[in-house]
Structure 1
Amino acid sequence: MEWTLPQWGQLMTLFMIAIAMGMDAFSLGIGVGMRGILLRQAILVSITIGFFHTVMPLAGMVIGRVLGLFVEKIAVMVGGGLLIFLGVNMLYHARKQGEAGVLRDLASFWGIFLFSVSVSLDSLSAGLTLGLFEADTLLTMLLFGWMGMLMAGAGLLLGRRVGAWIGGYGEAVGGMILIGLGLRFLL
């Protein structure tokens, strides 16, 4: 089966959004990894983040599709606005990262759970936006889950090796990608 141009466009757009969402997990992973984390903890945290990066967009997409039935005319504007809001929020947190610490208690189940949920909340909002646009659900879940897991793991492992100079840049790049995509939808 050969893909059409719109299908390729959707794949590339979802891939870029998945990378942007994964940047948050990557940058926070670096911060946590710099404070020292065991390899088995890094793997467990990465898998948990991947799980929540799969579930959160699904929940958001379901809500977005229901809302999309009622607000079809303004769905594109709302979706673009949400992406811009998420991007600005990520830039804000990248700037404040040095001041406010991230959840670092990854030795307990609840610590891992709360860290993974907090890192994945942006994916819920992105899923809401994608639900308004009626994006492919399975493709979104797979891309978000894998990218969240891989980027969180890469951040945790990289954080074990490098200094604090890279931490905030990953989240800032992700925020700029979301702002650019949001502007694309609005213009």
Structure 2
Amino acid sequence: MMETGMHTGQLLTLLIIALALGMDAFSLGIGIGLKGIRLRDIIKLSAIIALFHILMPLMGMVTGQYVSTLLGGVATHVAGILLLLLGGHMIYSSLRGEAVQSFDHRTVWGMLVFALSVSIDSFSVGISLGMFAADVLLTVLLFGFFGGLMSILGLMLGRRASSSLGEYGEACGGVILFTFGLLFLF
């Protein structure tokens, strides 16, 4: 019974973190969508983002598991600090009003740069989750699903929405990661 409760708690935590990381893809997707994007490009770009949201946390989790064995009990605090820094950076970036870099999102290079830019946070979170020995397969599948889904939603909404909405998505994701960082520390 206790194992089910812990598994449910872990699942809920992973869902919330996956949604928070997807917010970055959502907010930047709005910016790209505002430039005008074809449906075929939305599907290609979202698939690449989903793939990066699987690969980046996977690499981070492997790194985090290695770091965890080196650090022992300090790993929980280090993971909390990483999430605090990551969440704080996302909040700061959204408040500062960084614009989406101008590049051609239809080229392979443009799609890879965009996918990397919205997935790099997943690597850092993967390091933290690797220190906690989170379920690797579940984590990367959730991150990939929500990264792809949120990018589709952002790109589609960007075709119809004003540019001011994008900043709030990244800030919301940052607040969620920052909160989890605090919870891991205390």
- CA distances 1:84-105 after superposition (whole Å, capped 9, x unpaired): 11101111111233x4432441
CA contact (8 A) 1:21 1:148 kept: yes
Question: What's the secondary structure of 1:49's corresponding residue?
Answer: helix
Structure 2 gaps of 5+ residues are: none
TM-score, with normalisation over the residues of structure 2? 0.96
* C-alpha RMSD over aligned residues: 1.3
Question: When the two structures are aligned, how many residues end up with a matched partner?
Answer: 185
The residue type paired with residue 24 of structure 2 is D
Quick check: 1:78 aligned with 2:70? Answer: no
- Deviation, 1:3, is 6.4
Structure 1 gaps of 5+ residues are: none
Question: What's the secondary structure of 1:58's corresponding residue?
Answer: helix
- Deviation, 1:111, is 0.5
TM-score, with normalisation over the residues of structure 1? 0.96
Quick check: 1:54 aligned with 2:34? Answer: no
The residue type paired with residue 37 of structure 1 is I
Question: What's the secondary structure of 1:164's corresponding residue?
Answer: coil
The residue type paired with residue 39 of structure 1 is L
CA distance in 2, matches of 1:155, 1:102: 16
CA distance in 1, matches of 2:102, 2:132: 33
CA distance in 1, matches of 2:67, 2:18: 22
Quick check: 1:171 aligned with 2:170? Answer: yes
- CA distances 1:63-102 after superposition (whole Å, capped 9, x unpaired): 00011111011011000111111101111111233x4432
The farther-off stretch of 2-11 and 143-152 is: 2-11
CA 1:103–1:76: 2 relative to 1, 3 Å: farther
CA distance in 2, matches of 1:146, 1:53: 8
CA distance in 1, matches of 2:23, 2:102: 17
Partner of 1:123: 122
Question: What's the secondary structure of 2:134's corresponding residue?
Answer: coil
Question: What's the secondary structure of 1:71's corresponding residue?
Answer: helix
Question: What's the secondary structure of 2:124's corresponding residue?
Answer: helix
CA contact (8 A) 1:28 1:102 kept: no
CA contact (8 A) 1:103 1:115 kept: no
State the 4+ residue runs in structure 1 displaced beyond 2 angstroms.
99-104
CA contact (8 A) 2:26 2:154 kept: yes
Question: What's the secondary structure of 2:101's corresponding residue?
Answer: coil
Partner of 2:143: 144
Question: What's the secondary structure of 2:106's corresponding residue?
Answer: coil
